[in-house]
């Protein structure tokens, strides 16, 4: 089994879609590690705030198969894909890491971990002593050094 970290976000029927995502991931993978949920402004477009969190799953699926499973869950929850990468969505599930794998061609680890507070902070919450693959720095250390912490608002759903 390999631990994979997945970011989850929604800005359309946010609470409902986050709850459904957790339920669907639990049905697919069993026990989950679930971070706190944060509300953040939409980035790259005008839209409602997002709810974001990180979810850990243990899986025997390879990264490609895991991404297919995540896409199926998004589709079942009404995800509409358009030309614009930055748009409102019912659910966005992104594979962040897959064990210690470093594979630039597959985008693993996902560079959003180092760019966005709404990805790094939840990882630091649930896996503070885990290291970013290929760098040897823990998520707690990366978060301590992160410059843009001001737009995260913890929420309870």
Question: Of 90, 96, 101, which is closest to residue 35 (Cα–Cα)?
Answer: 96
Between the CA of residue 68 and those of 5, 7, 63, 153, what are the distances in Å?
A: 15, 15, 9, 31
Half-sphere exposure of 141 (CA within 13 A, CB side): 8
Using CA atoms, how far apart are residues 66 and 70, in angstroms rounded to an integer?
6
Dihedral sign, Cα of residue 139, residue 145, residue 151, residue 156: positive
| Active-site annotation holds for 92 | yes
| Active-site annotation holds for 3 | no
Summarised one tens digit per residue, pLDDT across range 17-72 is 999 999 999 999 999 999 999 999 887 778 889 999 999 999 999 999 999 999 99
The helix or strand, by DSSP H or E, that contains position 96, with its residue range, turns out to be strand 92-98
Q: What DSSP letter does each residue of 59-88 carry, written as one string?
A: ESS-HHHHHHHHHHHHHHTT----S-SSS-
- pTM for this prediction: 0.91
Task: Compare 43 and 144 and report the one with higher pLDDT.
Answer: 144
Q: Is the pLDDT of residue 97 over 70?
A: yes
Using CA atoms, how far apart are residues 75 and 35, in angstroms rounded to an integer?
23
Q: What is the mean pLDDT of the chain?
A: 91
Q: Which one of the listed residues 14, 20, 79, 110 is annotated catalytic?
A: 79
pLDDT (0 to 100) of residue 43: 77
Using CA atoms, how far apart are residues 141 and 13, in angstroms rounded to an integer?
33
Fold of 2-155: Alpha-Beta Plaits (3.30.70)
| Active-site annotation holds for 135 | no
Using CA atoms, how far apart are residues 129 and 152, in angstroms rounded to an integer?
21
Question: Of 113, 110, 114, which is closest to residue 101 (Cα–Cα)?
Answer: 110
Percent of the chain with pLDDT over 70: 93
Q: Which one of the listed residues 19, 92, 100, 141 is annotated catalytic?
A: 92
Half-sphere exposure of 68 (CA within 13 A, CB side): 5
Q: Which one of the listed residues 67, 89, 110, 125 is annotated catalytic?
A: 89
| Active-site annotation holds for 69 | no
């Amino acid at each position: 089994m390999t631990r994979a970290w997945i970011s989850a976000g929604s800005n359309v029927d946010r609470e409902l879609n986050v709850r459904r995502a957790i339920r669907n991931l639990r049905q697919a993978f069993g026990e989950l590690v679930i971070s706190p949920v944060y509300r953040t402004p939409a980035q790259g477009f005008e839209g409602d705030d997002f709810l974001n969190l990180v979810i850990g799953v243990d899986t025997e699926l390879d990264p490609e198969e895991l991404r297919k499973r995540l896409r199926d869950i998004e589709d079942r929850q009404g995800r509409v894909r358009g030309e614009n990468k930055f748009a409102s969505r019912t659910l966005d599930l992104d594979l962040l890491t897959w064990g210690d794998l470093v594979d630039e061609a597959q985008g693993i680890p996902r560079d959003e971990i180092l760019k966005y507070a709404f990805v790094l902070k939840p990882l630091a919450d649930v896996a503070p002593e885990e290291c970013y693959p290929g760098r040897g720095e823990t998520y707690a250390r990366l978060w301590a050094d992160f410059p843009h912490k001001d737009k995260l608002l913890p929420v309870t759903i």
